[in-house]
Amino acid sequence: MAMVDAEAIVKELRETYASGKTKNYEWRVSQLKALLKIAEHHEKEIVDALNSDLSKPELECFVHEISMMKTSCKHALKELKRWMKPEKVKTSLTTFPSSAEIVPEPFGVVLVISAWNYPFLLSLDPVIGAIAAGNAVVLKPSEVAPATSSVLAKLLGEYMDVTAIRVVEGAVPETTALLEQKWDKIFYTGNGKVGRIVMAAAAKHLTPVVLELGGKSPVVVDSNINLKVAVRRIIAGKWGCNNGQACISPDYIITTKENVPKLLDAMKLELEKFYGNDPLKSGDISRIVNANHFHRLSKLLDDNKVVDKVVHGGQRDENNLKIAPTILLDVPEDSLIMKEEIFGPLLPILTVNKVEDSIEFINAREKPLAAYLFTGNKKLEEEFVRNISAGGLLINDTTLHLATSTLPFGGVGESGMGSYHGRFSFEAFSHKKAVLRRSFGGDVPARYPPYTPEKVRFLKALLNGNILGLIRALLGW
């Protein structure tokens, strides 16, 4: 593959952006409709690519990637005029008479670097926001999902306006070349290590960034719950989402010593119902994306501190890159599996004396992208929402907040910065420009030198909101 000429691509997109084409409402609509056509007319091609990259079940391909992308696109098309409309705001006595508004304007030429675990959705969802906001955009899909990257490059090249929307394939050299350019905004989805590289590159040009990272998302399980429903929802969020290879996948469970036997029994029962006696042969579980990640996960399992902590699963098939749903009990806090984001089908369960202790445990660690609580206790729920700092919280379920377009999706601290989805995607790629309008009337002499004592009294009264003092100053009292 020839090395990408990143400088030439950016130059071409800047020329397009400077022409004003991308700011046009009709252009934005045409490009969003083109994205919809891609999803509607090439579903099989997209599913085949996702299956090639991750052996992702067809249902997951459609529900978690294609359908969510289409929903995002349709939502943007429906709301775009309202989002683009300037927002009228109040003015003060200081600027009277005047009017003011906030005008959303595109940043300009933006870069979207996406991840491999949901390579279709995580590529196009930010692009939808960038287009809706009126930007020219370069998409860099993940080379770890090469089939999906290739499909995206082909289809966007066929359907989209390539003078304003480009796909750049490749690996580290291509990403490095792109990051050397001056962008007006960078949107990165991935891990914290690369996130720091992206941020350092952006800092050279004072480029704003959105970083969608990950973290160890905890699940707190209380005892006063519908255990069967809770367990099914935990399994769906962990193994039913890319076999744990998801940024908001439950990373570990915290429950009480008293509750753990019932929880374990329920999880084992439901896992067998879902994936059978030999989950490695199940067609409903995604494989590990590549050999590197398989060996990384195997290293977590083979750690001497946890090797005897497996209470369910643990089977591996290196040839087919499959790891069965695996539960570990009471792993040490200093073990490898508790030090880094798992991003796979391994799920530790930690026990505490009382469920309230879980809040202190979570807060002693880096802020996660998501935190989940299963409880029927309203007091505990309120305490959890009040005291846990995470990108997002979900009570009595997992991962579904991702699909709620009225909520911002993003991290905090180590789990990222900035957010998107729905209107928040539009805002992520828009600068809120302040506009104040005045007529030539209503000019106040006290604003200008020489600054006499009378003028000082008048301006102090005006700025302090002292109406009586203002009247006195005007009357010369």
Residue % of the chain over a pLDDT of 70? 97
Asked if residues 128 and 35 have their Cβ atoms less than 8 Å apart, the reply is: yes
Q: What is the location of CATH 3.40.309.10 in the chain?
A: 218-411
**What DSSP assignment string belongs to 61-129?**
IIIIIIHHHHHHHHHHHHHHHHHHSPEEE---GGG-SEEEEEEEEE-SEEEEE--SSSTTHHHHHHHHH
Give the Cα separation of 248 and 343 in Å (integer).
9
Domain 6-213+420-432: homologous superfamily in CATH: Aldehyde Dehydrogenase; Chain A, domain 1 (3.40.605.10)
Looking at residue 459, what is its pLDDT?
78
Calculate ∠ Cα 201-207-212, nearest 5°.
Answer: 75
In 172-237, the DSSP E strands lie at 185-189, 209-212, 218-221
Task: Please tell me the CATH code under which domain 218-411 is placed.
Answer: 3.40.309.10
Looking at residue 1, what is its pLDDT?
46
Q: What is the dihedral of CA 64, 66, 72, 73, to 10 degrees?
A: 180
Looking at residue 238, what is its pLDDT?
97
Q: What are phi and psi of 58, to 5 degrees?
A: -55, -40
Packing angle of the helix pair 121-132, 25-41 (nearest 10 deg): 160
Question: Residue 276 is encoded by which pair of tokens?
Answer: 């059978």
Catalytic residues: 212, 247
Looking at residue 27, what is its pLDDT?
98
Looking at residue 474, what is its pLDDT?
59
Q: What are all long-range contacts of 274-282, with beta carbons under 8 Å and residues at least 24 apart?
A: 274/235, 274/239, 274/240, 275/239, 275/324, 275/325, 278/315, 279/313, 279/315, 279/324, 279/325, 280/315, 280/316, 280/317, 280/320, 280/322, 280/324
Looking at residue 445, what is its pLDDT?
86
Looking at residue 412, what is its pLDDT?
97
Q: Is 17 left (phi over 0), alpha (psi -120 to 50) or beta?
A: alpha
Q: Where are the alpha helices (DSSP H) in 260-401?
A: 260-275, 291-302, 357-363, 378-387
pLDDT tens string 416-444: 999 999 999 999 999 999 999 999 988 88
Asked if residues 349 and 329 have their Cβ atoms less than 8 Å apart, the reply is: yes
Looking at residue 472, what is its pLDDT?
66
Question: Residue 258 is encoded by which pair of tokens?
Answer: 């008293």
Asked if residues 343 and 216 have their Cβ atoms less than 8 Å apart, the reply is: no
User: Residue 256: beta bridge partners?
Assistant: 352
Which parts of the chain register pLDDT below 50? Answer: 1
